[in-house]
Chains A and B, each alone.
Chain A
């Protein structure tokens, strides 16, 4: 939570002004940037949290303080069930992500497996597939009766029933795992690459077996990455909205996020929704605290040590097993979903078989030219993603600069404030924003600005991690040279620092652009007729049974993402795959 403590200001008897105003002025002069940033962040984060607290302790419909809402949430088996299922999902997704990504990360980072770079790019690149799009694809692939994999299976084996049923708790866990394991892969493979080869060599020379080297050197050194990855994925899994909305509701169960959403539908129970948001908030707080406490503040990829020349472990005859495993992951998490979305987007009716006569471009024509909500949503999505990415990365760059160069007093509090929104799951932030901006005095509901506030708040930490790591690797010599030659601070910043930070700022921009474009859990509560975005249009089409058109919107989303990431790849180079999401 962002608690903002104003720095103490001493009375200045010499000044003629009195009271609050003078004190504020003097505080602003002493600590301008920290105060302004604190103010901006406080305006962003505190009202939503405040309303959540107020509403969760209010008697339904207003009037009087009560704890009854919490009592209901903690005693009604529907709500308890939702909380329990979310935790269950978070746990299994966390474990599965680590278990699935560890062998691939090891093969890519440590061995001579053929095609390592391609594997790495493709696994990390599956980020371009947002989780709700994965869910849509897996309904088409593994619906228990009409799912394409099941149809193929029945046709081949003559069995009367299919093999997979995506409409189950297990199906939901699978879909979320497939969309999140790349995160663990990224953390693990980076950590493994950073394990100093000389330590491993030393152990080997001293007579340790391969297994012993792994147990005593490699594994302890990557434990941080494993734990960090687990926590990150756990948090994402319990706060995600798209996959459970598409899979849990049709199968007849709720998780926390879908239950909160349902409570906000007609007839609305604002107080219960606020109360049910609290467990999600508390779990997140607890885990972020644990992670900071035990893993450290510098993020997850903090294994240091000079590594010697990279020495690949020769896999020998096991080589093809490793290749097979990695490509199986890629096919299941990326190739199959994208292929099925493309095929359905090009079908007249996806249930009607694979024949050429079932192919058409009509869905594209319809969505691009005739379906009005798609056009305005495309415009809104792009506008929001560009604005949020620009605001977040510029703000993050300034904050990192001021902080790393200790330019102002009180700079120490800036990173803490900037990272504070990490503890707010998207839907909880949205519930708070909805409660704040859908009532006077600040009615932003009904405009895209409430979405803009949500995106900047939620993604500022993502941007900050990128810009701060970019600036920490910059030496101050060049800046000093600039200042000595008579350039002002602003000019030095504009002509020397920002150009040198370009890579970090751009990867922050691209990352925030992408996650804003894919945002669903906050948008679903905050959109109105005037502010639809693409992810909402996709969900609408899907819930209307128009899978072909929904697939077209999905392909559009993918295309825009790929173009932007592609440009980024050209400009920044391969470091783009090292973008950090937390």
Chain B
């Protein structure tokens, strides 16, 4: 009887010990790791770390290609977590509050996120080996983040379902009741692009955030991502996707009966961002991955997938329409201004659409 009690007590203690041990699992990065300049033994140390965790707010196909290229080049395995841009921010902030540090490299389609991350001190400044290949406009002056590509946003329609003569010319036309039940729109609470487009409306005379209310009256299908909106148009579930970017259009739309509409009011365009997390568990590997993403090889992978990048030494595939093409009235989004308006846009969307 006595020995059984001892065993029981032992197991209670053990249980408590497991809980406590789990509580202090994460080790802090070694002090010398967070240097701004590239260190000579960075690659060797990164290979010792052996892996890197990448919060990737871009589509899976591209994530896979970049991860595979990086692994082949360095032998460091990439744990790539594909997340919607806003989910990537949610998780990073949430984990930071919890004191759990899982992310090494963070990547979203919204430079505005990085303005916010930088303000909160979540990013480690690093002078990438590739920095000389970029114009100053495409990286943070304090080197906390880089702009790996830009997204343009336009509409897409299904050519089998919308005759050429009826195709809307711009965003304002979407208020027409004839598009009732015909639209798909993405939710700005999950997708960055879905917030950038209404931001553009709010900055444009004659549109305004009111356009959201008018579109809501047409009962669009509400998707989480631009890719899901695109899928709804490809399958014919809806005729027009209100928010699609280069990624959704060129990658998902390959071979499908879809065409782009460059809205008459303008094509909002905004940079993405990539940076090293301050508390990265694999600080050296994180820097290596950032270098790879900004390298000629990494940027060419993006250009091959028709993403607009800012190195002058990349080639684009046929079919890619560059931002310089005449019928696109580009509107460049100011990341700080967008970041300031973002929460209000999400709140307005939630109010108008009910979710």
CA distance A265 to B343 in the complex (A): 12
Are B231 and A547 in contact, CB atoms less than 8 angstroms apart?
Answer: yes
**Binary B-proximity of A16-59 (CB < 8 A = 1, otherwise 0):** 00000000000011001100100110010000000000000000
Cβ–Cβ < 8 Å partners of B353 in chain A: 252
Q: Does A145 contact B (CB under 8 A)?
A: yes
Chain A stretch 360-414: residues in CB contact (< 8 A) with chain B = 370-373
Are A545 and B95 in contact, CB atoms less than 8 angstroms apart?
Answer: no
Are A266 and B222 in contact, CB atoms less than 8 angstroms apart?
Answer: no
Chain A stretch 435-468: residues in CB contact (< 8 A) with chain B = 438-447, 449
A440-B237 contact in complex given A249-B187, A250-B222, C-beta closer than 8 Å: no
A434 CB to nearest chain B CB (Å): 9
**Binary B-proximity of A520-543 (CB < 8 A = 1, otherwise 0):** 000000001110000000001011
The one of B53, B228, B343 that contacts A544, using a Cβ cutoff of 8 Å: B228
CA distance A439 to B100 in the complex (A): 9
Q: How large is the interface on A (under 10, 10 to 19, 20 to 34, 35 or more residues)?
A: 35 or more
Cβ–Cβ < 8 Å partners of A529 in chain B: 53, 55, 79, 81, 91, 102-103
CA distance A526 to B55 in the complex (A): 17
Cβ–Cβ < 8 Å partners of B53 in chain A: 529
The one of A29, A167, A371, A545 that contacts B230, using a Cβ cutoff of 8 Å: A545
Are B93 and A266 in contact, CB atoms less than 8 angstroms apart?
Answer: yes
The one of A43, A258, A438, A546 that contacts B94, using a Cβ cutoff of 8 Å: A438
CA distance A248 to B224 in the complex (A): 12
Q: Does A351 contact B (CB under 8 A)?
A: yes
CA distance A350 to B181 in the complex (A): 21
A279 CB to nearest chain B CB (Å): 19
Are A248 and B231 in contact, CB atoms less than 8 angstroms apart?
Answer: no
Cβ–Cβ < 8 Å partners of B348 in chain A: none
The one of A36, A146, A440, A449 that contacts B12, using a Cβ cutoff of 8 Å: A36
CA distance A371 to B63 in the complex (A): 10
Q: Does B60 contact A (CB under 8 A)?
A: yes
A-B pair count, CB < 8 Å, reads 165
Are B189 and A545 in contact, CB atoms less than 8 angstroms apart?
Answer: no
Which residue of the partner chain A has the closest CB to B55? A529
Which residue of the partner chain A has the closest CB to B353? A252
Which residue of the partner chain B has the closest CB to A253? B354
Cβ–Cβ < 8 Å partners of B80 in chain A: 372
The one of A258, A349, A528 that contacts B256, using a Cβ cutoff of 8 Å: A349
Q: Does A254 contact B (CB under 8 A)?
A: yes
A530-B102 contact in complex given A36-B12, A252-B353, A443-B22, C-beta closer than 8 Å: yes
Q: Does A143 contact B (CB under 8 A)?
A: yes
Chain B stretch 50-79: residues in CB contact (< 8 A) with chain A = 53, 55, 59-60, 64, 67, 79
Are B225 and A445 in contact, CB atoms less than 8 angstroms apart?
Answer: no
B179 CB to nearest chain A CB (Å): 13
A536 CB to nearest chain B CB (Å): 11
Q: Does B326 contact A (CB under 8 A)?
A: no
**Binary B-proximity of A246-268 (CB < 8 A = 1, otherwise 0):** 00111111100010001001111
Cβ–Cβ < 8 Å partners of B170 in chain A: none
CA distance A18 to B163 in the complex (A): 89
CA distance A242 to B25 in the complex (A): 32
Are B23 and A440 in contact, CB atoms less than 8 angstroms apart?
Answer: yes
Q: Does B305 contact A (CB under 8 A)?
A: no
A111 CB to nearest chain B CB (Å): 43
CA distance A104 to B292 in the complex (A): 62
Which residue of the partner chain A has the closest CB to B355? A249
B186 CB to nearest chain A CB (Å): 10
A252-B98 contact in complex given A145-B237, A544-B228, A547-B231, C-beta closer than 8 Å: no
Q: Does A78 contact B (CB under 8 A)?
A: yes
A540-B82 contact in complex given A40-B15, A262-B189, C-beta closer than 8 Å: yes
Q: Does A144 contact B (CB under 8 A)?
A: yes
Are B22 and A251 in contact, CB atoms less than 8 angstroms apart?
Answer: no
A443-B99 contact in complex given A249-B222, A252-B353, A266-B90, C-beta closer than 8 Å: yes
Cβ–Cβ < 8 Å partners of A251 in chain B: 221-222
The one of B12, B86, B229 that contacts A39, using a Cβ cutoff of 8 Å: B12
Cβ–Cβ < 8 Å partners of A528 in chain B: 91, 95, 100, 102
A545-B94 contact in complex given A32-B4, A32-B5, C-beta closer than 8 Å: no
Which residue of the partner chain A has the closest CB to B224? A543
CA distance A147 to B232 in the complex (A): 11
Are B93 and A78 in contact, CB atoms less than 8 angstroms apart?
Answer: no
CA distance A28 to B13 in the complex (A): 13
A36-B8 contact in complex given A248-B355, A266-B90, C-beta closer than 8 Å: yes
Are B219 and A252 in contact, CB atoms less than 8 angstroms apart?
Answer: yes
The one of B98, B232, B237, B252 that contacts A438, using a Cβ cutoff of 8 Å: B98
Cβ–Cβ < 8 Å partners of B99 in chain A: 439-440, 443
The one of B81, B98, B216, B252 that contacts A443, using a Cβ cutoff of 8 Å: B98
Chain B stretch 195-221: residues in CB contact (< 8 A) with chain A = 216, 219, 221
Q: Does B259 contact A (CB under 8 A)?
A: no
Are B221 and A250 in contact, CB atoms less than 8 angstroms apart?
Answer: yes
B93 CB to nearest chain A CB (Å): 7
Q: Does B190 contact A (CB under 8 A)?
A: yes
Max chain B CB contacts within 10 Å: which of A81, A373, A542? A373
Q: Does B227 contact A (CB under 8 A)?
A: yes
Cβ–Cβ < 8 Å partners of B19 in chain A: 43, 442, 444
A145-B234 contact in complex given A252-B222, A439-B98, C-beta closer than 8 Å: no
Are B60 and A167 in contact, CB atoms less than 8 angstroms apart?
Answer: no
The one of A43, A265, A447, A543 that contacts B90, using a Cβ cutoff of 8 Å: A265
CA distance A36 to B95 in the complex (A): 33
Which residue of the partner chain A has the closest CB to B221? A250
Interface residues of A (CB under 8 A from B): 28-29, 32-33, 36, 39-40, 43, 78, 81, 143-147, 167, 248-254, 258, 262, 265-268, 349-351, 370-373, 438-447, 449, 528-530, 540, 542-547
Between-chain CB contacts (< 8 Å), 18 pairs: A167-B221, A250-B221, A266-B87, A266-B89, A266-B189, A267-B346, A268-B93, A351-B235, A370-B64, A446-B100, A529-B103, A530-B79, A543-B84, A543-B228, A545-B223, A545-B231, A546-B60, A546-B231
Given contacts A40-B15, A529-B81, A544-B224, 9 further A-B contacts (CB under 8 A): A28-B9, A36-B12, A252-B355, A349-B256, A370-B64, A442-B23, A445-B95, A447-B25, A530-B102
The 5 closest A-B pairs by CB, nearest first: A545-B231, A351-B235, A266-B90, A545-B228, A146-B237
